[in-house]
């Protein structure tokens, strides 16, 4: 691919990766509850979901979401309901959970990865973003499939940086919320933000 195209793509893409969203918020929450390493491992779930979305966008299947109103609203409703469910769990979570204290046993990284996957997969607008964003940097005169592969790979690599950055911020917050009362307040703030993200998803429209 042309170097000038990549120089435009990388900063624009990284800004998209770093934008606050349900998955990045989940990385912060997981890091405060379970630590940096487990939060990063959980991010594998979102990477798998995004890789599938990129494949769908490159195959042109994402156009179905543009034309099928029922499918779009079905996916986003399921995604919003799942975000509300996560918010409710976080709201009710005991401050000691995930730290080997007196709370419930810590969640395994596979369970957390499944959460990340479902949050990412439950947002149909993510596929539409890939459909609208990636093609802007593709040269129709060149090998389209290969260009999509390169752009998709770069997106996923930058997503790894973003999820690690949010997990690092969450890990640093563990010290700020060392007391049970502080942890409970933080959990409920995150629960409110996740519920807000779910409401935003529920009220969003196709573009």
Q: What is the pLDDT of residues 132-184, one digit of tens each?
A: 777 778 777 778 778 888 999 999 999 999 999 999 988 888 777 656 666 67
Q: What is the reported pTM?
A: 0.73
Output the pLDDT for position 205.
Answer: 62
Q: What is the pLDDT of residues 69-103, one digit of tens each?
A: 776 677 667 767 877 887 787 787 665 555 544 34
Q: How far apart are CA 105 and CA 3, in angstroms?
A: 49
Mean pLDDT of 14-34: 87
What integer best gives the mean pLDDT of the chain? 79
């Amino acid at each position: 691919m042309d170097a000038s195209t990549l120089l435009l793509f990388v900063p624009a893409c990284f800004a998209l990766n770093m934008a606050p969203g349900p998955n990045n918020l989940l990385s912060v929450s997981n890091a405060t509850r379970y630590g940096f390493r487990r939060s990063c491992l959980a991010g594998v779930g979102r990477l798998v979901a995004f890789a599938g979305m990129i494949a769908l966008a490159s195959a042109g299947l994402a156009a179905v979401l543009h034309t099928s109103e029922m499918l779009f609203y079905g996916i986003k409703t399921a995604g919003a309901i799942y975000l509300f469910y996560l918010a409710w769990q976080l709201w009710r979570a005991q401050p000691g959970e995930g730290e080997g204290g007196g709370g419930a046993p810590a969640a395994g990284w596979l369970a957390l990865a499944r959460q990340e996957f479902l949050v990412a997969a439950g947002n149909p607008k993510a596929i539409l973003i890939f459909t609208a964003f990636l093609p802007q940097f593709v040269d129709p005169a060149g090998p389209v499939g290969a260009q999509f592969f390169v752009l998709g790979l770069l997106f996923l690599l930058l997503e790894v940086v973003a999820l690690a950055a949010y997990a690092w911020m969450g890990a640093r917050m563990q010290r700020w919320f060392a007391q049970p009362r502080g942890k409970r307040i933080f959990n409920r703030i995150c629960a409110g933000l996740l519920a807000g993200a779910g409401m935003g998803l529920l009220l969003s429209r196709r573009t």
